[in-house]
Structure 1
Amino acid sequence: MKTSQAHLFIIDPQNDFCDLPGAALPVAGAQADLERLARFIRTAGPALARISLTLDTHQPLDIAHPGCWQQADGSPVAPFTQIHAADLAEGRYRPVAPLSPEHARAYLEALEAGGRYTHMIWPVHCVAGSWGQQIHAPLAAALADWQQQTGHTPFEVIKGTHPWTEHYSAIQAEVPDPAAPETLPNTALLARFAGSGPILVAGEASSHCVKASIEHLAAHLGAEARRLVLLTDCMSPVAGFEAAAADLIHHMQSLGAQALSAQAALALLAED
């Protein structure tokens, strides 16, 4: 594996996921994760041949935000409520226009059939153009310096703009819509992983967007999933979902991928 062709893949390193004042969906440890990642980039420098990063990007009206749902009595649905297809069928929750009952039912059934996630109502987060949608400042500065140093530009992927499907994964939406190209497999992003050396993975949250992205990427890579290196101290899970993050590590290791600290990854890059 040519470590001189290392590719850093950063998933959703945004203010709204950092444990910072004003963050909409803070993940405990995320600020320290991204500061550690910024130091890693500054130290690794040109050893990183490519950097790709994703930005979760929503409008306030979104299938996973409270404004699209009501309880049976018309009262609001609180963030961190899980909604099953059975809840809809039994009238415990109902969609609010413009989310139609037909789409809501089909979506929940398809999501559950996929076996990856139960539909979660999240706080309104990463709204397009907001402070919360922006890259955490220390990491943004490190990326700008890497660009100046190497002459390369990080490849940015905007995900989550389609309001009627959850888009945890950078590769594709949880329930793709053939009529919405932004929900289908991102072939431009997938092409960037061809022919690279180790694919170093960091970002937030390890229980959701990192997990979904890396599971999809590993499936695409097949036997080449062994090139994945999860920077375990540059990602953290949403509280209450620690087991999902642990499952990700174990599953990737079973495919031959590595789980390393940022410091150990620097040693890996120094092998060439």
Structure 2
Amino acid sequence: MTADPDAPLEGQTEAAAEALLRPVRPGNAFEDTVGRLLQTIRLGVLAPGQSLPPERELAARLGVSRDTVREAIKSLSDAGYLVSRRGRYGGTFLADELPRHTGDTGRVTRDEIDDALRLREILEVGAAHMAARRTLTAAERERLWSRLADVRDSAPDDDYRRLDSRLHLAIAEAAGSPSLVPLLAENRMRLNALLDQIPLLPRNIAHSDEQHEAIVLAILAGDADGAAEAMRAHVEGSAALLHGFLD
């Protein structure tokens, strides 16, 4: 479903955008700008068909020149992630259908897989535990339930990875630590690059959906230990598949 291109960023989307579209390192301004924009796209912070913030706003958020932003947007447009439209309602928009990751990442080592997975366990189990300990607002509770429904209703061969990432980012935001979101997002990009190398198995997707529901229900019930254990089981399931296919 294509988003309203004129809709403002709000709620979880705006919070995640603020966390991800932060100042880049001066020495790699172009590369980091492309990377930050790709994070917002591939992790579902912006939906297909939705407009990017204006160049001036992006430049201010990222701490780079408008020329750097313009070059990054052109690169992502050439790669098929963005489209530019002219006229009164013009601007830069996410493509309605995003490219699938097809790059050759080369053979990964067990140590590289373990590093990404161990960091994931530290960040995501802790995020679920902390989110359950907080008194969430009605909006935060609805956001978690909505993100869960989006993943559960998605087709495994369509938009699953993006919507899955968006749910995990929402859990990180519910933990109440803004500094956690970019750390988790960076590691999700590493994990997604690994997961893109293995097939999507229908049974695993169904099991993941059950685990997602257990995690969210525990968070909403204020069961911190239950949320942490449910997230740990979820992480261990992904670990088993990655090691099974990639070791």
Larger RCO: 1 or 2 (CA < 8 Å, sep 6+): 1
Instruction: Considering fraction of residues, name the structure with more strand.
Output: 1
Instruction: Considering fraction of residues, name the structure with more helix.
Output: 2
TM-score (norm 1): 0.24
TM-score (norm 2): 0.25
Larger C-alpha radius of gyration, 1 or 2?
Answer: 1
